Amino acid sequence: MEDEFRYSTDAEWDREEALQLGEMYPNRAWIVTDRDAVHANHFYKGPPVAHPEFDGTQEEWEAALKYQAEQREREAVLEADRRARDAAYRAAHPAGDPWDNIEADEIPF
């Protein structure tokens, strides 16, 4: 009874089924569960394969993957810039933001 899989949603059940099938079939890029849901196989190590429901060509799929990778890279650069600005602000204002100082707040509520 302890090892019994318990789930709260159908999506959680689907993910668990996809993980089990993916482990059984690591050579498949995509796993289709009994509920006709398509999941990426986390155990797949081969070249990128277009999603089964993708209507374009393999080249269009690879271009979409490249665009997504570039977008993630841009987001990482923006996040690094935000962190650098945040660190610079904290260095310039060691006491913190005066608006966030609850102890110095003169409003009684």
pLDDT at position 108 is 62
pLDDT at position 58 is 82
Rounded Cα–Cα distance for residues 47 and 28 (Å): 11
Sign of CA dihedral 72, 74, 77, 78: negative
pLDDT at position 5 is 63
pTM: 0.52
pLDDT at position 22 is 94
Distances (CA, A) of 23 to 17, 71, 104: 10, 30, 58
What rounded mean pLDDT belongs to the chain?
Answer: 84
More confident residue, 19 or 109: 19
